[in-house]
């Protein structure tokens, strides 16, 4: 599981940062990629990575401001040109369906795959299968903006091979069955229950990706015990009044959320074009006085999220 940042800037594309988009790469877990926001030029950014658009099967939009949305029509068309045939699901606030369908209709674009839209209604779980659960809560921005919480379900415990050897259970395909927790009858008639030979389940990973927002209680709920929290950092430590007036957060406010929510690692993105070079480093240093495990990311940074 990895996060790859395709755009880390705020408002408009800049010389050093493109506008917002982040890919959650689940290639080992489910052979797919989930995109969170698709700012203008996202498909150009993808060309500089090893991401294949056809692998993208879910797109989550946090809100309908242009710097999180304007790259979507182009990306959808490119996915079609590059051999995408499987269904794509787009999640987002009400209006996302109209935006996409209008762009496709007026540009006379025809896609080779179906799109399913999930416009967000009641807060809570919007996707769940045997490996992942995704939920959302509303945040505090000038228009409706949401944060997403991605929870990986627990991994089965490790097979206790030494314990099996002590019982003279030969290795082979039977080990695979036992690792799946199945009951197996051996050639000597013994019945073995795989569940009795598994260690404790391993906790799955949690990732919280928030849209633009003022400091709000829902951020704490979404970030609770997360392995990684991705939070905007449009303003610096001494600009809390500006942040509130423009419905954004400061770097130290994000750090406070991470600390209070017992987050393992904080990633700051949505950086204003005013902060370049040393100034961006200063944003990180300020936040680290509140929460040490903080990183200000740049375009194309990749964050590995290992099992703990």
CA 261 – CA 89 distance, rounded (Å): 30
Residue in 37, 57, 67, 299 annotated catalytic: 67
**Is 155 known as a binding-site position?**
no
Q: Which residues pair with 58 in a beta bridge?
A: 34, 89
Q: Which among 61, 108, 64, 58 is positioned nearest to 79, based on CA atoms?
A: 58
DSSP code string of the chain: -EEEEEE-BSSS--SS-PBPEEEEEEHHHHSEEEEE---TTHHHHHTTSS--GGGEEEEE-----GGGTTTHHHHHHHHHHTT--S-EEEEESTTHHHHHHHHHHHTT---SS-EEEEE--SSEEEEE-SSEEEEEEE--SSS--EEEEEEEPPBPPPB-HHHHHHTT---SHHHHHHHTT-EEE-TTS-EEEGGGGB-PPBPPPEEEEE-S--S-HHHHHHHTT-SEEEEE--B-TT-HHHHHHTT--BHHHHHHHHHHTT-S-EEEE-B-TT--THHHHHHHHHHHTT-SSEEE--TT-EEE----
**Is 67 known as a binding-site position?**
yes
Query: Is 67 noted as a catalytic residue in this protein?
Result: yes
Find the distance separating the first CA and the last CA of the chain, reported in whole Å: 12
**Is 270 known as a binding-site position?**
yes
**Is 28 known as a binding-site position?**
no
**Is 65 known as a binding-site position?**
yes
**Is 168 known as a binding-site position?**
no
- For 105, other C-beta atoms within 10 Å of its C-beta total 9
**Is 248 known as a binding-site position?**
no
Which residues belong to the active site?
A: 67
Q: Which residues are part of a known binding site?
A: 63, 65, 67-68, 141, 212, 270
Q: Which residues are part of a known binding site for Zn(2+)?
A: 63, 65, 67-68, 141, 212, 270
């Amino acid at each position: 599981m990895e996060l790859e940042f395709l755009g880390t800037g705020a408002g408009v594309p800049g010389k050093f940062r493109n506008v917002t988009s982040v890919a959650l790469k689940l290639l080992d877990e489910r052979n797919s990629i989930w995109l969170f926001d698709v700012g203008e030029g996202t498909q150009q950014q993808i060309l500089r990575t090893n991401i294949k658009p056809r692998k993208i099967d879910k797109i989550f939009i946090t809100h309908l401001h242009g710097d999180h949305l304007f790259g979507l029509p182009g990306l959808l068309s490119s996915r079609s040109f590059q051999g995408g045939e499987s269904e794509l699901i787009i999640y987002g606030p009400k209006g996302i369906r109209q935006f996409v369908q209008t762009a496709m209709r007026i540009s006379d674009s025809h896609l080779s795959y179906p799109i399913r839209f999930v416009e967000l209604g009641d807060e809570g779980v919007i996707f769940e299968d045997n490996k992942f659960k995704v939920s959302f809560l509303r945040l505090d921005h000038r228009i409706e903006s949401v944060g997403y919480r991605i929870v990986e379900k627990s991994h089965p415990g490790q097979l206790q091979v030494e314990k099996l050897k002590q019982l003279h259970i030969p290795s082979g395909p039977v080990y695979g069955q036992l690792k799946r927790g199945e009951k197996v009858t051996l050639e000597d008639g013994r019945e073995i229950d795989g569940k009795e030979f598994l260690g404790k389940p391993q906790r799955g990973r949690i990732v919280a990706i928030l849209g633009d927002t003022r400091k709000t209680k829902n951020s704490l709920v979404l970030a609770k015990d997360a392995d990684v929290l991705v939070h905007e950092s449009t303003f610096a430590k001494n600009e809390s009044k500006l942040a509130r007036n423009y419905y954004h957060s400061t770097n130290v406010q994000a750090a406070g959320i991470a600390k209070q929510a017992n987050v393992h690692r904080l990633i700051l993105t949505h950086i204003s074009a005013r902060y370049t070079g040393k100034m961006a480093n200063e944003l990180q240093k300020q936040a680290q006085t509140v929460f040490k495990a903080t990183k200000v990311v740049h375009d194309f940074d990749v964050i590995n999220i290992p099992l703990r």
